[in-house]
Amino acid sequence: MIKIFITFVTLTTTCSFAPLQLQAQNQNQSPIPSLKETFKNDFLIGTALNTAQIQEKDPAAAQLIPLQFNAATPENIMKAAIIHPGWDQYNFTLADQLVAYGQKNKIKITAHTLIWHSQLPDFVRSIKSPDSLRQFFTNHITTLASRYDGKVFSWDVVNEALEENGSLRKSIFLQLLGEDYIVEAFRLAQKAAPHTELYYNDYNIEQPKKRAGAVEIIKKIKAAGVRIDGVGIQGHWRASHIPLAEIEQSILDFSALGVKVMFTELDLSVLPNPWDRDNADVSATAGNSTGKDPYPNGLPDSVQNVLTKGYEDLFKLFLKHKDKISRITFWGVNDGQSWLNDFPIRGRTNYPTLFDRAYKAKPAFYAVIATKK
Ligand code: XIL
């Protein structure tokens, strides 16, 4: 699985260069409204950024991102496998570039992520002793959180620590460090990064059982006298099945705990998901796309309408609770760059964001803007 993810990193890094022709075309287009301006009194509007975008190698993206977004999350470059590949080896270059990019463009950075079971470096995955893992855990959090304190706006301190039934995921951290590892991660982050907001982030935590697990985590951190500033609901949903009622209840339940609520990785898939039918293991279903890529040449209007309506419904709900929501971040600037073209099946054609493959605003973009009117 890690290997697959690392392939995606390479893919997303290399595939998103816009042709020069496209730049010219975009420059001739009349200006479109700005998401960050439209919602400036409501919440931050963020995007995930890949390497090419951080390095401004993608001209169309370099033009669009600062106009539309005032928040960003590195899609991969601050994950442990990339930023901390060996015991005493750190690759800070890209993260430092991201911080500079954010400063230049007035974009608040949420660093992603300190403690996560996925995209771990090989040396961590082969650790067997609690002492060694604790040493990695302490060094990793302390080194990164202190280096970027005050330079990034926030950290996803712990990512995806829950199973669907609300129990703690049986990750290497739970198995070797015990269930207090989550509180300890926040304690270390708080010490190293006193000027940085600290969040718990996960997917499907709008669902009742998993939400109850997240509520327990937040309560436990607070009961230990440790700081947690917010909770991120990732928001990887299917456009045709957005759990609006559960999302609304989650906004209420989480904010009642006194933390900020964020939607941190929003994208709406329009493709069939094999998991919905057979609940198979990720690696088992991530095969090739033969016969499973229904819209390789464009989205039919009927499906485009479902996507548009999905985004419209969501933003109406977000605005209703804008006093509790601090940020909405899209997981990818445009459709071509989205991880959902390669997950859970590689090589498909998905349409989950507000901008098409030529960075043109889609009907969903205009529907989101219109929710403010
Ligand atoms: C994804 C990236 O988008 C891909 O490029 C990478 O190959 C795998 O990870 N939950 C998270 C994100 O917290 O970090 C994941 O990002 C998507 C699911």
Q: Which of 75, 216, 265, 312 is catalytic?
A: 265
Give the distance (Å) from ligand 1 centre to CA of residue 66.
22
Q: How confident is the model at residue 277 (pLDDT cuts 50, 70, 90)?
A: very low
Check if 9 has its Cβ closer than 6 Å to any atom of ligand 1: yes
| Region 185-214 average pLDDT | 98
Q: Which of 113, 112, 105 is nearest to 70 (CA)?
A: 105
Q: What is the pLDDT of residue 292?
A: 85
Give the distance (Å) from ligand 1 centre to CA of residue 31.
31
Of 3, 8, 12, the one to substitute when testing ligand 1's pocket (max ligand atoms within 8 A of C-beta) is 8
- The lowest-confidence range among 6-20, 55-69, 213-227, 291-305 is 6-20
Per residue in 224-246, pLDDT (tens digit) is 999 999 999 999 999 999 999 99
Give the distance (Å) from ligand 1 centre to CA of residue 130.
27
Is residue 265 annotated as a catalytic residue, yes or no? yes
Answer whether residue 102 shows pLDDT above 50.
yes
Residue nearest to ligand 1 atom 15, measured at CA: 75
Q: Does the 35-273+296-370 domain belong in CATH 3.40.50.200? A: no
Give the distance (Å) from ligand 1 centre to CA of residue 30.
33
Q: Which of 37, 75, 160, 206 is catalytic?
A: 160
Check if 12 has its Cβ closer than 6 Å to any atom of ligand 1: yes
Nearest atom within ligand 1 for CA of residue 4: 7
Nearest atom within ligand 1 for CA of residue 6: 7
Tokens of 203: 């997917």
Answer whether residue 20 shows pLDDT above 60.
no
Q: Are 191 and 185 in contact (CB under 8 A)?
A: no
Predicted TM-score (pTM) of the model is 0.91
Is residue 56 annotated as a catalytic residue, yes or no? no
Residue 141 to residue 192: CA distance in whole angstroms: 8
Nearest atom within ligand 1 for CA of residue 331: 3
Tokens of 49: 């950024």
The structural domains of the chain, with segments of one domain joined by +, span 35-273+296-370
The 8-class DSSP code of residue 239 comes to T
Answer whether residue 280 shows pLDDT above 80.
no
**Hey, which residues does 71 pair with through a beta bridge?**
46, 108
| Region 163-182 average pLDDT | 98
Burial class (CB in 10 A: 0-12, 13-18, 19+), 265: buried
Per residue in 249-270, pLDDT (tens digit) is 999 999 999 999 999 999 999 9
| Region 320-326 average pLDDT | 98
Check if 329 has its Cβ closer than 6 Å to any atom of ligand 1: no
Residue 114 to residue 189: CA distance in whole angstroms: 9
Q: What is the pLDDT of residue 309?
A: 98
Give the distance (Å) from ligand 1 centre to CA of residue 239.
19
CB atoms within 10 A of CB 161: 23
CB atoms within 10 A of CB 40: 12
